[in-house]
Amino acid sequence: MAVCIAVIAKENYPLYIRSVPIQNELKFHYTVHTSLDVVEEKISAVGKAMADQRELYLGLLYPTEDYKVYGYVTNSKVKFVIVVDSSNTSLRDNEIRSMFRKLHNSFTDVMCNPFYNPGDTIQSKAFDSMVTAMMVQAS
Amino acid sequence: MAQCVQSVQEFIQDSFVPMVAVLCSEHAEQVTRKNNLNFSELLRPFCRLTSEGHMRDPNNQVQVVKNLRISVNNVVTRPSVPTSGVHGPAQRRLLSEVVSACQPAEGGVANVIPAGDYDLNISATTPWFEAYRESFLQSMPASDHEFLNHYLACLLVVSSSEAVPVEQFLKLSQEQHRIQHNGEYTNPKWFIPNTLKYYVLLHDMSQGDEQRADSVYEDMKQRYGSQGCYLLKINSRTAAAGTDEQIPDPWSQYLNKSSLQISVNCLDNTHPLQLETAIDTPGSLDSLRAVAAETKTTTVYTGMVAGTSHGACLTLNDHDRLRLFIQEFTFRGLLPHIEKNIRQLNDQLVSRKGLSRSLFSATKKWFGGGKVPEKSIAELKNTSGLLYPPEAPELQIRKMADLCFLVQHYELAYSCYHTAKKDFLSDQAMLYAAGALEMAAVSAFLQGGAPRPYPAHYMDTAIQTYRDVCKNKVLAERCALFSAEVLKSQAKYSDAATLLIKMTCEDSDLCSALLLEQAAHCFINMRNPMVRKFAFHMILAGHRFSKAGQKRHALRCYCQAMQVYKGKGWSLAEDHINFTIGRQSFTLRQPENAVSAFRHILTNDSQQTSTQQGAFLREYLYVYRNVQGVCEVALPQLPLPCINSSATRVYFGHERRLAEGEKQAATHVSLDQEFDRDLAAVWQDLEEQVVATANRGVVPSTFYPTQCCLNSQTDNLRFPLAVVEEPIIVEVAFRNPLKVPLVLSDLSLLWKFTLKDFSQPQPQDVMVGDAFTISNEKEARLKLLPRQTGQLNILGLVYNLASTPTGDSTINSPSALEGTWVRGRQDLKIQGPRLNQTKEEKTSVSHGPDRRLDPTITPPMPLLEVLTHHCPLPLTQK
């Protein structure tokens, strides 16, 4: 159960950010923006490795005191970032991977929409509902 | 970290220097007082030795001591500042004054650092951090677990004009002995029981008898040996001599800092008077009184002692003599003394090593369980405190190591520290162990020749021990500063940054702010600069700065962070920064910056919640009001609401009267109608036919169809005609991009009029006076009545902008407007159609003129109104 999910375009501006506790939204924005540095470092470090499924998942970017940030980059350099509560230790790596896979699939669906211009913010309701299903239920 | 003025080695070496104390007699004070300086201040600019010294280490190898600096201070026996591990409030005040005094120069040196996609315009140096660091290190209290801050030698200064200088010397010498050994004072701390005493005979050239001075000096040399005394001649310049030559004044830079510091220290000192009555000897009493009186006057000053001149009685020769004096003292007195002590300690250690170690380990073996647990329990009780008496053998190693460090024998120092660390750790004396670890790491780094790899883990352990076990934040901070500097010089920026961030804590805002800023600079200086981390930490630093009350530094940090976030689409973050910049600028009385920052928040397609937008809007209006109150004769341009200029419609003529009863008015063109292109074409045709008929079948070349209602789809290339005394109605379309409603009131048009002939009073405008709110889009109609012929240009709108009070969306009560509102204007500029006729126009983007808003006012013309009466229906049907 994620606390914040973000989709970031190739040029590093956000296509879609949503976080559950609305009060801390600013903090999550900052966290996601800063984690882009780490993502870029990892991308450049990979170099000319083959882009297979395993390489797309970047793993734990960095742990802060309350949250863990995971990253995933697609072949077209669109990045997904998931922020998870640290106290939620029951989330295993595989679950995060499956979340990213679902995100990637939904994102591809959004891209396939002929009325969607790449580079616009994502307004699709289907994407929204998929993300809501993955987020922590607001108490 | 940002680049510093000093290199790492210089910085560390300058932080630990041999300390020398000064005791002056009363007459000697008077001599130096002629220059507005006391003796230690007189010496301060000359304390850096330019030549090299040579020393022999215990292995009889010659070591070269380069660029040594010594630190000369008065003996100030104030009650000890409690070494509680945190700074007292006076210290904090001093530090924050130092930082706020050091601001970046306006328009100062800024580099453009290309980093990835960003080109950042930031300054690479942070002089305020260096100022903070310097005064932090200077204000550290001397501790008992290390000997680097302890006095090694004492200068006893007596003036040659006294009756019996030798007696004075004896008195001062006894004084020093008493201060050191009496046990009354815990400050200042002395290194060895046998402090070096150096006798200085101060001779005033303008006043004294030189021969007598020389003879006294000879006498002294007999008594104390030629290596132990010196005749110093100063004050060669008589006061009467004019100021033809410019004597440099190297004292002022030192005096400002020291006056701040002394004033702070004096504030700590509760009763200087009480101290005076306790002691009863003349020499030091006078010097103390002089010091105390001087500090009292400097506290009155609260600032620079710029008015008084220093060193007025000294010529350049005197400067040279002072320099020579320091050199002589150091090379003939101090360094041999240190060398002798190193040798002594070394001998003691070597002899003791064999004996005591075997004894200790033997007792451990034989007495096994009984003795050892007792000892360890006793020690566990005070591992964080001071464990050893000052003369304990373990401390001898530490002393030797410190002495070697002070004279730059880093290899020997490192090995001693290493041994000391092992001893302390096995004894569980954590404070000492941490100190030894810290110095071991530093000396390993400073070691020339075949350098060892820098043992960063030593430093980390030391920092951790200081912070957790000994609870001494000040020492931990010192370690961190050194370690970060060293890591930076080795280009290990990410380690340095992590270290600095770990050191930030909740209680000290200023310290955390400075450390965060340095961490941000580390990030940006990496090989692959982590620009976003830099920006984020700058924001955190700015926040802490504003909590610490350093507003200008806070503003600077936020502005630098803004460069990274600007225009990148992270709107929430950008808005937050803009909002904070706006607030800070406003409190710093930079209203223009505040206004422009707020403008950014409001004009973008903000994705903030409506409450947030409401708050922004109110803040903006409040700032704007204050800006207007201060200056600004002209009306400011407001960014809200957005005006859709091209949707402006202009209608010339009276509004048509509606039908009354059986009369039906001709519909005519009016603003309420939608524009229909086909219908307009039909009307144009009809008009051409009429004109043609009136002109005998020919349409004159200057004909063009009259247009009453001009909008974006009509042909607006020519100046429209309006008639005197007939109203012109302008309809302006507003759009509100925010989620909160905006209240506009007192709208009117701005116009400019040029007369064609000079006769009558000016045209007047009529306003649409009632207020209305705009939630999304709305049009407003404003009327203008020309009274003279000429050329009218409608320039824009002026109005009052307000926000609704929270929770109240009805605006009809006048009290709703009592809140913050601002009068401002917006210009109406309509861009004409894109020209597409000639080849150049097709290949370039050029727009023709649109003259909707520039009617020519013509002299009165007849006005027709058509009313049909009982018009048969088929005529009006198709």
Query: In Å, how far is A79's CA from the nearest CA of chain B?
Result: 15
In the numeric block, the tokens 């075997």 are attached to B358
pLDDT in tens, B135-157: 888 777 777 777 887 888 888 88
Chain A: residue whose CA lies nearest to B567: A13
When pLDDT is cut at 50, 70 and 90, the band that residue B282 belongs to is very low
List phi, psi (to 5°) of B128. Answer: -70, -30
Choice between B204 and B699, residue whose per-residue pLDDT is larger: B204
Tell me, yes or no, whether A86 lies in a domain: yes
Give the one of B530, B531, B573 whose C-beta lies nearest to A29's C-beta: B573
Interface contact A29, partner B, CB < 8 A: yes
The yes-or-no verdict on residue A79 having pLDDT over 80 is yes
Tell me, yes or no, whether A139 lies in a domain: no
The token duo for B127 is 């002089």
Average pLDDT for A73-101: 81
- So what's the pLDDT on residue B303? 36
Give the one of A14, A38, A44 whose C-beta lies nearest to B570's C-beta: A14
Query: In Å, how far is A38's CA from the nearest CA of chain B?
Result: 8
In contact, B144 and B80? CB cutoff 8 Å:
no
CA nearest neighbour of B708 among B682, B676, B681, B669: B669
Out of A20-29, B62-71, B678-687, B864-873, pick the least confident: B864-873
Choice between B481 and B749, residue whose per-residue pLDDT is larger: B481
Helix (H) or strand (E) holding B214, with range, is helix B210-224
Amino acid at B153: A
When pLDDT is cut at 50, 70 and 90, the band that residue B69 belongs to is confident
The yes-or-no verdict on residue B366 having pLDDT over 60 is no
CB neighbourhood size of B391 (10 A)? 9
Measured CA to CA in angstroms, residue A59 lies from A16, A105, B532 at distances of: 20, 18, 20
CA nearest neighbour of B717 among B834, B603, B838: B834
Residues B146 and B170: their CA atoms lie apart, in Å, by 31
Measured CA to CA in angstroms, residue B340 lies from B87, B332, B746 at distances of: 37, 12, 91
| Residue B243 CA, distance from chain mean position | 40
Contact list in B for residue A36 (CB cut-off 8 A) is 532
Give the one of A12, A26, A41 whose C-beta lies nearest to B573's C-beta: A26
Measured CA to CA in angstroms, residue B517 lies from B164, B403, B513, B684, B764 at distances of: 59, 35, 6, 71, 59
Query: In Å, how far is A73's CA from the nearest CA of chain B?
Result: 18
Out of B309-313, B324-328, B373-377, B699-703, pick the least confident: B373-377
The yes-or-no verdict on residue B810 having pLDDT over 50 is no
Out of B464-473, B632-641, B709-718, pick the least confident: B632-641
Give the one of B117, B528, B569 whose C-beta lies nearest to A44's C-beta: B528
When pLDDT is cut at 50, 70 and 90, the band that residue A93 belongs to is confident
DSSP letters for B717-749 = SSPPEEETTS-EEEEEEEE--SSS-EEEEEEEE
Query: In Å, how far is A54's CA from the nearest CA of chain B?
Result: 25
Across the interface, do A37 and B568 touch by the CB < 8 Å criterion?
A: no
Q: Which SS3 state, helix, strand or coil, does residue A127 take? A: helix
Across the interface, do A34 and B569 touch by the CB < 8 Å criterion?
A: no
Across the interface, do A30 and B573 touch by the CB < 8 Å criterion?
A: yes
Interface contact A37, partner B, CB < 8 A: yes
In contact, B675 and B709? CB cutoff 8 Å:
yes
- Identity of the highest mean pLDDT range in B109-118, B546-555, B598-607: B546-555
Give the one of A33, A40, A41 whose C-beta lies nearest to B570's C-beta: A33
Contact list in B for residue A47 (CB cut-off 8 A) is none
The yes-or-no verdict on residue B497 having pLDDT over 80 is yes
Residues B666 and B664: their CA atoms lie apart, in Å, by 6
Contact list in A for residue B116 (CB cut-off 8 A) is 40
Which CATH number fits the domain that encloses residue A98?
A: 3.30.450.70
Sign of the Cα pseudo-torsion (B767, B769, B771, B772, in order): negative
The token duo for B656 is 């048509």
Interface contact A62, partner B, CB < 8 A: no
Chain B: residue whose CA lies nearest to A119: B569
Across the interface, do B569 and A40 touch by the CB < 8 Å criterion?
A: no
Pairing of strands B777-785, B764-766: antiparallel
Give the one of B117, B528, B573 whose C-beta lies nearest to A33's C-beta: B573
Interface contact A101, partner B, CB < 8 A: no
Contact list in A for residue B117 (CB cut-off 8 A) is 12
CB neighbourhood size of B124 (10 A)? 13
- So what's the pLDDT on residue B371? 37
When pLDDT is cut at 50, 70 and 90, the band that residue B256 belongs to is low
CA torsion B660-B662-B665-B670 (nearest 10°) is 60
The yes-or-no verdict on residue B300 having pLDDT over 60 is no
Contact list in B for residue A81 (CB cut-off 8 A) is none
- So what's the pLDDT on residue B294? 39
pLDDT in tens, A26-41: 888 888 888 888 887 7
Question: Rounded mean pLDDT of chain A?
Answer: 79
**HEC secondary structure over B226-285:** CCCEEEEEECCCCCCCCCCCCCCCCCHHHHHHHHHHHHHHHHHCCCHHHHHHHCCCHHHH
- So what's the pLDDT on residue B873? 65
On the 0-12 / 13-18 / 19+ scale of CB atoms within 10 A, B109 is exposed
- So what's the pLDDT on residue B679? 77
Residues B703 and B793: their CA atoms lie apart, in Å, by 23
Interface contact B502, partner A, CB < 8 A: no
When pLDDT is cut at 50, 70 and 90, the band that residue B629 belongs to is low
End-to-end Cα separation, chain A, in angstroms: 13
In contact, B668 and B652? CB cutoff 8 Å:
no
Interface contact B536, partner A, CB < 8 A: yes
Give the one of B569, B576, B609 whose C-beta lies nearest to A13's C-beta: B569
Out of A49-58, B324-333, B672-681, B773-782, pick the least confident: A49-58
Interface contact A36, partner B, CB < 8 A: yes
Contact list in A for residue B573 (CB cut-off 8 A) is 26, 29-30, 33
Across the interface, do B116 and A40 touch by the CB < 8 Å criterion?
A: yes
Across the interface, do A37 and B533 touch by the CB < 8 Å criterion?
A: yes
- So what's the pLDDT on residue B809? 40
List phi, psi (to 5°) of B305. Answer: -90, 55
pTM: 0.73
- So what's the pLDDT on residue B173? 83
Interface contact B262, partner A, CB < 8 A: no
- So what's the pLDDT on residue B816? 40
Interface contact A13, partner B, CB < 8 A: yes
pLDDT in tens, B593-622: 777 777 777 766 666 677 777 777 777 777
The yes-or-no verdict on residue B741 having pLDDT over 70 is yes
Across the interface, do B532 and A26 touch by the CB < 8 Å criterion?
A: no
Across the interface, do B568 and A41 touch by the CB < 8 Å criterion?
A: no
Choice between B842 and A22, residue whose per-residue pLDDT is larger: B842
Tell me, yes or no, whether A44 lies in a domain: yes
Amino acid at B806: T
- Identity of the highest mean pLDDT range in A76-90, B337-351, B799-813: B337-351
- So what's the pLDDT on residue A139? 40
- So what's the pLDDT on residue A62? 66
Average pLDDT for B368-376: 39
pLDDT in tens, A48-60: 444 444 456 676 6
Residues A39 and B143: their CA atoms lie apart, in Å, by 46
Helix (H) or strand (E) holding A129, with range, is helix A125-134
Question: Rounded mean pLDDT of chain B?
Answer: 73
- So what's the pLDDT on residue B410? 85
- So what's the pLDDT on residue B240? 47
Average pLDDT for A42-50: 61
Q: Which SS3 state, helix, strand or coil, does residue B140 take? A: coil
Amino acid at B831: Q
Average pLDDT for B501-517: 85
CB neighbourhood size of B759 (10 A)? 9
Across the interface, do B569 and A14 touch by the CB < 8 Å criterion?
A: yes
Across the interface, do A36 and B532 touch by the CB < 8 Å criterion?
A: yes
Instruction: Report the percentage of chain B scoring pLDDT > 90.
Output: 0
DSSP letters for B519-570 = HHHHHHTSSS--HHHHHHHHHHHHHHHHHTT-HHHHHHHHHHHHHHHTTSS-
- So what's the pLDDT on residue B179? 79
Taking CA B811 as the corner, what is the angle to CA B810 and CA B812, rounded to the nearest 5 degrees?
A: 105
Interface contact A120, partner B, CB < 8 A: no
Contact list in A for residue B532 (CB cut-off 8 A) is 33-34, 36-37
The yes-or-no verdict on residue B762 having pLDDT over 50 is no
Tell me, yes or no, whether A75 lies in a domain: yes
DSSP state, B378?
Answer: H
Average pLDDT for B99-105: 73
End-to-end Cα separation, chain B, in angstroms: 84
Query: Which pairs from B114-117 meet CB under 8 Å and 24+ separation?
Result: B115/B524, B115/B529, B115/B531, B116/A40, B116/B528, B116/B529, B116/B531, B117/A12
Chain B: residue whose CA lies nearest to A7: B570
Interface contact B604, partner A, CB < 8 A: no
When pLDDT is cut at 50, 70 and 90, the band that residue B692 belongs to is confident
Interface contact B533, partner A, CB < 8 A: yes
Choice between B6 and B774, residue whose per-residue pLDDT is larger: B6
Amino acid at B76: V
Contact list in B for residue A41 (CB cut-off 8 A) is 528, 530
- Identity of the highest mean pLDDT range in B173-182, B251-260, B749-758: B173-182
In contact, B728 and B784? CB cutoff 8 Å:
yes
**Mutation target vs B (from A30, A122, A123; most B CBs, 10 A cutoff):** A30
Measured CA to CA in angstroms, residue B864 lies from B212, B707, B855, B861, B867 at distances of: 122, 15, 20, 10, 10
Choice between B563 and B90, residue whose per-residue pLDDT is larger: B563
The yes-or-no verdict on residue A120 having pLDDT over 70 is yes
Across the interface, do A34 and B533 touch by the CB < 8 Å criterion?
A: yes
**Mutation target vs B (from A22, A32, A34; most B CBs, 10 A cutoff):** A34
Out of B181-195, B387-401, B576-590, B768-782, pick the least confident: B768-782
Across the interface, do A37 and B565 touch by the CB < 8 Å criterion?
A: no
The yes-or-no verdict on residue B381 having pLDDT over 70 is no
| Residue B593 CA, distance from chain mean position | 17
- So what's the pLDDT on residue A41? 78
- So what's the pLDDT on residue B664? 64
Residues B219 and B225: their CA atoms lie apart, in Å, by 10
Domains of chain B: 642-668+708-806+818-858 (2.60.40)
- So what's the pLDDT on residue B106? 58
B333 Cβ neighbours under 8 A, 6+ residues apart? B153, B196, B198, B227, B228
- So what's the pLDDT on residue B374? 38
Interface contact B847, partner A, CB < 8 A: no
**Mutation target vs B (from A8, A13, A33; most B CBs, 10 A cutoff):** A33
The token duo for B221 is 């040399």
Contact list in B for residue A33 (CB cut-off 8 A) is 532, 535-536, 565, 570, 573
Domain count, chain A: 1
When pLDDT is cut at 50, 70 and 90, the band that residue B449 belongs to is low
Out of A91-95, B288-292, B322-326, B538-542, pick the least confident: B288-292
Residues B775 and B737: their CA atoms lie apart, in Å, by 9
Contact list in B for residue A37 (CB cut-off 8 A) is 530-533
Out of B238-252, B271-285, B790-804, pick the least confident: B271-285
B689 Cβ neighbours under 8 A, 6+ residues apart? none
List phi, psi (to 5°) of B139. Answer: -90, 5
In the numeric block, the tokens 């650092």 are attached to B113
Chain A: residue whose CA lies nearest to B564: A33
The token duo for B110 is 């800024």
Residue ranges making up the domain that contains A110: 2-134
Give the one of B530, B569, B572 whose C-beta lies nearest to A37's C-beta: B530
